[in-house]
Chain A
Amino acid sequence: MEEDMREMLPEELQAVCSNLSKACSKQMREEEAALFGKLSAYYGEQTKEQEGSTFEALSSLIEQDLSEGYPKASKAVSEELDRGALRALVWGEKATKFLKSLLSRYEKQGSALLENTSVYVCDICGYVYVGDKLPDVCPVCKVPSFKILPVRKEVI
């Protein structure tokens, strides 16, 4: 475990801590949640600028997750008989396919994709929905739709 930790980047530590913050909120431990939030924000400030941030670069990482990352991880985790970990991979792979679809639709339609419509992210599994009529439950994790939250358009 120690070795695994030493290798973690600030952006990874940021998500470890925001996850723990959410876990504390679920236990109604608001002080602890705020402290983990503070730690997460610290790591967020430690991340280094990266060059070449484009949708193409994103698409290629998504493609790599779908063609190599998830199949390899799912096989290994199945052999370990860890059903919780496998569940995270099943949901994650599905949500990743929706990310891929979002980018390919944007590539084809451009700004028209979101012209008169909204976009949402499931707060539980990361599923992405483009449209105006949310399904009653998330198609990936089956959480009720009030946990699928809109991403508002900002005026720039």
Chain B
Amino acid sequence: MEHLKGFSAVNLDADAAAAALEETLQQFGPVGQSRLATFQDALEYLLPIKSFTTRYVVMGLGEWSILLTDMRGANCYVEAFAISRARHCKAIGLFLQQKRRELHVFENERKVRQVQSLSDGNRWYFREEGVLQPFEDAEECVRRKKQDRLSAEALRHYFQTYTDVTIPDWKNTSFTHIFGLARCTKGLRVAVSEFETVE
């Protein structure tokens, strides 16, 4: 499922990460929280994918937690950044799609690295900010063709090196705890659209 190729992770266990995200979401109103047993439950909680974020899942992988949202084209990196600032922890966001590859890294309450390599209409878009991190391969950002920069393979390697956690293959990964969080949508002035689910 293409949507699962965009996610973030924070250096907190699932209970702490869910509590921090809940605090962040309370600015929009009451937050609904559910405990989910399996990844399949988490997927059913999130789907269908929508035009704007209404729900999140937080899935524990030891000292790290994965964040997913139900918004199309979103990987929770701003939420991971908010948690990182609130709890003084590391955070990382990724997109591993063929036409959208991104890296976002947050430490010490700051954004330390952001790299985007993606298709933008009739051109390929590449942008990088911050200094090259110790886990990065410098060559990934200087290849002549922009579309060859920041490969999905490199991103997988970066994630594993940075977190010491392998990117989950979702259905076969054993998560310690899974939480579902629903934010309040009362203040929205735009109707939220739902998209058809494609495996």
Q: Do A and B come from one complex?
A: no
